[in-house]
Amino acid sequence: MVFASIITIGDELLIGQTIDTNSAWLAQQLNQIGVWVKHRTVVGDIREDICEALDEESRRSDIILITGGLGPTADDITKPLLCDYFGGKLVTDEAARQNVINLFTKLNRPLLERNLKQAEVPDNCIVLQNKRGTAPGMWFERDGKVFVSMPGVPHEMKGIMLEYVLPELPRKFRLPFIIHRTLFTAGQGESFIAEKIKDFEDALPPNIKLAYLPSYGMVRLRLTGFGNNKEILEKELHTQFEKLKTLVKDIMVADEDKGLEEIIGVILKSKGKTMATAESCTGGYIAHLITSIPGSSAYFNGSVVSYSNQVKKNMLDVSDETLKTAGAVSEETVTQMVQGVIGRLNADYALATSGIMGPDGGTPEKPVGTVWIAVSDGKKTKTQKFHFRFDRERNIQLTAQNALNMLRKFMLGEL
């Protein structure tokens, strides 16, 4: 097995000002070519900490990918540090210099000396040209290990990885095959599932591992197989995956790694139907999930975010009497909301949500986390009450996932 480590550099990452999306993308790409990410670490813009991380990760892994610290300002210390670390000296790479000039000319921006210094690189590295920015990538080798330094800007890093690094690594290392098969469950917690499939997990061959990936009331089960013969590995993994599907068939949502928003789209497209949402407590979050899927305009008509009672009445025809007697968070209200949005947006299916997300607004009768969800096709409507116990953000996410799952089951005739 060939192992990789990812080092992301920047104080902004440590304090949470910037979210590290680079590591997740890098890990996915490496996994696809047969490289297993063994460790990920974040360090600040401190020379000693970066050197320590390089020493540590080079003991752990065969490939060390570094992002960040290659900008033109004083806090970008990665390049001179790497020059010293690998015993080189800075020289100007003419291709990188011309790239900087061309970029600033194209943008019609003044070119400073500090911008031209972006073209300086250690003389003992392989320069990886950055066609999306000014800072080139750098490839070093030492004691059979590969070190690649790239900009922290995701768009620029991805360009260097796709054009240079990912094609070159399989030529440098003999890589095994890594294959994943994932299924998606709902309705049971991680511990209950683990107990149900304990014997199956214990009997797995050494080259196939099972992982539990819980998230917002759903659990993904992922089988990962390792091997040098792709055809044999695929057959082994298929056999074990079919066994797993049989064991969890009562709670399985899908036998592929797709979110509920994508699964909903597949069902709607297969039926040639459309949907809409009427959202109060989720504030349009469900509509956001659905429209994050390319092509969702084929089946998603729209949403009414009826956060206020006035909008519930005016846009969704929820009656004054219902709001006064049952309240906004009630079975009666979500029933009228879902029926109203179907008519208003001319959809075949719809869902509606109303609840108390917190941290305030709860009562003894309706505490924080109380949620009503309705799904309907205009003729038949199903409702369900939920009690969530987390913070506002997680309560919204749980409401969205449960609403989408209710709609899925409703469309498939399982609700």
Question: How sure is the predictor about 71, in pLDDT bands with cuts at 50, 70 and 90?
Answer: confident
List pLDDT tens digits, range 135-169.
Answer: 999 999 999 999 999 999 999 999 999 999 999 99
Cα–Cα distance measured from residue 101 to residue 79, given in angstroms and rounded to the nearest whole number = 20
Average pLDDT of the residues in 220-226: 96
Across the chain, how many H-helices and E-strands are there?
17, 17
**Cα angle, residue 148 at apex, residues 142 and 149 outer, rounded to 5°:** 125
Whether the predicted model's global pTM rises above the 0.85 cut: no
Closest to 357 (Cα-Cα) out of 278, 285, 413: 285
Q: Are strands 63-67 and 2-9 parallel, antiparallel or unpaired?
A: parallel
Residues 264 and 250 in one domain: no
Residues 153 and 133 in one domain: yes
| pLDDT value of residue 355 | 98
Place of tokens 């749980």: 398
Residues 113 and 142 in one domain: yes
Average pLDDT of the residues in 87-95: 96
Instruction: Please identify, among 122, 145, 172, the residue that sits at the C-terminal boundary of a domain.
Output: 172
Cα–Cα distance measured from residue 241 to residue 218, given in angstroms and rounded to the nearest whole number = 18
Residues 150 and 51 in one domain: yes
Residues 233 and 85 in one domain: no
Domain encompassing residue 234: 177-254
| pLDDT value of residue 76 | 86
Residues 43 and 82 in one domain: yes
Residues 131 and 219 in one domain: no
List pLDDT tens digits, range 115-144.
Answer: 999 999 999 999 999 999 999 999 999 999
User: Do 119 and 96 meet the contact criterion of CB atoms below 8 Å apart?
Assistant: yes
- Residue 217 pLDDT greater than 80, yes or no: no
Residues 200 and 167 in one domain: no
Alpha helices of 166-319 — where are they, by DSSP H? 166-172, 190-196, 198-202, 230-247, 260-271, 285-291, 309-316
Cα–Cα distance measured from residue 208 to residue 210, given in angstroms and rounded to the nearest whole number = 7
| pLDDT value of residue 308 | 97
Average pLDDT of the residues in 193-211: 97
The SS3 of residue 181 is strand
350's CB contacts (< 8 A; 6+ apart) are 275, 276, 277, 278, 338, 341, 342, 375, 376
What are the start-end ranges of the E strands in 320-405? 349-355, 370-376, 381-387
Cα–Cα distance measured from residue 372 to residue 356, given in angstroms and rounded to the nearest whole number = 9
Cα–Cα distance measured from residue 234 to residue 6, given in angstroms and rounded to the nearest whole number = 28
User: Do 173 and 62 meet the contact criterion of CB atoms below 8 Å apart?
Assistant: yes
Q: What is the DSSP string of 31-96?
A: HHTTEEEEEEEEE-S-HHHHHHHHHHHHHH-SEEEEES--SSSTT--HHHHHHHHTT--EEE-HHH
CATH code, 79: 3.40.980.10
Q: What is the DSSP string of 94-151?
A: HHHHHHHHHHHHHHT-PPPHHHHGGGEEETTSEEE--TTSSS-EEEEEETTEEEEEE-
Residues 269 and 387 in one domain: yes
| pLDDT value of residue 187 | 84
| pLDDT value of residue 74 | 78
Query: Which two structure tokens, joined as six digits, stand for 387?
Result: 């009690």
Name residue 396's amino acid. Answer: I
- Residue 353 pLDDT greater than 80, yes or no: yes
Average pLDDT of the residues in 315-329: 97
272's CB contacts (< 8 A; 6+ apart) are none
Total structural domains within the chain: 3
3-state helix, strand, coil in the chain (%, to 5): 45, 25, 30
Cα–Cα distance measured from residue 120 to residue 92, given in angstroms and rounded to the nearest whole number = 4
Average pLDDT of the residues in 260-271: 97
Residues 11 and 99 in one domain: yes
- Residue 95 pLDDT greater than 90, yes or no: yes
| pLDDT value of residue 83 | 96
